[in-house]
Amino acid sequence: MSTSNLKLTLVGGPTVLIEYDGLRLLTDPTFDPPGEYQGPHSPVKHRKTSGPAVPVEEIGALDAVLLSHDHHFDNLDNSGRALLPSVGVTYTTNSGAERLGGNAIGMAPFETRVFEGRNGKKLFVTATPARHGPVGVDAGDVVGFALGVEQPGDLVYITGDTLWFEGTAEVASRFSPKVVVMYTGAAEPRGRYHMTMGSEDALETANAFPKAALVSVHNEGWGHLKESQDDLAGVFAHFGLADRLTSFNKGEPLTFDV
């Protein structure tokens, strides 16, 4: 595979601008200011504590949105929902596509589509399994995404809101991404249990993808997140894995030679 640059910019929360070969994709768009919010499909209120590093007006033209799920406000807020019609396509869950309509395309886990951007460049987009909480807790359908250039999953894997489980382990057995974007934060919107990756899940991910660069997102900006990026970095350092986790700061682009 010829070498190109993959650029990732953390807007905030789970929202990452992905730029590769002239293509521009955005994960889970959230651009609203701090405040108390409740989405239209969830009984849970979310407290947002910090705003985006890049305002929605400055995000620029997008080829696609990769939406892990639409029913939680910290993954799709008012500004993010208003953005969707201006994007070429929104990939999400099958149930989310039914709710959103418009340009939304639902995908089942391990379903692959060939995406063509405005510049004619193509990517493989594969939906990946996700479990948004412990067994027995139904938080609604969620997917992650694996993007590929020459074959599915050879570029970047975005976990979406999930814990480490047999589905994410299967992603590791199928794909060899250059970069893994982990949704961490050990979210506890209702207390008692985690709904997203904590440090233990992130360590499992590091072990499963030994050749991938790792970045962590969705670990700041919301009151229900219990582990910061610094907390996670401390755990990785404790286990001698400090070099596996790349610091990812809001508004500061990261570039990877892939």
Encode pLDDT of 121-138 as tens digits.
Answer: 999 999 999 998 877 777
Arithmetic mean of pLDDT, 18-32: 97
User: Is the pLDDT reported for residue 169 higher than 70?
Assistant: yes
Amino acid at 206: A
Q: What is the pLDDT of residue 59?
A: 97
Question: Is residue 258 in some structural domain?
Answer: no
Instruction: Using the structure block, give the residue that is written with the tokens 């794909």.
Output: 175
Residue-level pLDDT at 1: 38
How many domains in the chain? 1
pLDDT of 194 higher than 70? yes
Average pLDDT on 209-230 reads 95
CA distance 207 to 243: 13
Q: How far apart are CA 74 and CA 7, in angstroms?
A: 23
Task: Please say if the pLDDT value at position 105 is more than 90.
Answer: yes
pLDDT tens digit string along 31-49?
A: 999 999 877 766 777 789 9
Tokens of 225: 């997140």
Q: Shortest CA distance to 208 belongs to which of 156, 160, 172, 165? A: 172
Determine the pLDDT at residue 40. 72
Q: How far is the C-alpha of 126 from the C-alpha of 44, rounded, in Å?
A: 29
What's the rounded Cα separation, in Å, for the pair 49 and 41? 21
- Average pLDDT score over residue span 197-207: 97
pLDDT at 155 over 50: yes
User: What does the pLDDT average to over 17-32?
Assistant: 97
Evaluate if residue 87 carries a pLDDT over 50.
Answer: yes
Helix (H) or strand (E) segment spanning residue 176: none
Q: Mean pLDDT for the chain?
A: 94
Q: What is the CATH number of the domain that holds 88?
A: 3.60.15.10
DSSP annotation string for 5-36: EEEEEEEETTEEEEEETTEEEEES---PPSEE
Q: Give 2's pLDDT tier (boundaries 50, 70, 90).
A: very low
Asked whether residue 122 is assigned to any structural domain, the reply reads yes
Domain residues for the domain of 91 are 5-253
- Between the CA atoms of 169, 175, 180 and 182, what dihedral angle is there, to the nearest 10 degrees? -30
Q: Give the pLDDT confidence score for residue 3 in this predicted structure.
A: 54
Say what the pLDDT of residue 195 is.
84
Average pLDDT of the residues in 105-125: 96
**48-52, Cβ contacts within 8 angstroms, sequence gap of 24 or more:** 48/74, 48/77, 48/221, 48/222, 48/223, 49/221, 49/222, 49/223, 50/12, 50/220, 50/221, 51/12, 51/221, 52/11, 52/12, 52/15, 52/250
**pLDDT for 231:** 97
In percent, the amount of the chain with pLDDT more than 70 equals 97
Q: Mean per-residue pLDDT for 204-227?
A: 96
* Structural contact between residues 103 and 85, judged by C-beta atoms closer than 8 angstroms: yes
With contact defined as beta carbons under 8 Å apart, do 184 and 198 qualify? yes
User: What is the percentage of the chain residues whose pLDDT exceeds 90?
Assistant: 83
Which residues contact residue 56 at a Cβ distance below 8 angstroms, ignoring those fewer than 6 apart?
29, 31, 79, 80, 83
Partners of 16 in the β-ladder: 10
Q: Tell which wins on pLDDT, 54 or 195.
A: 54
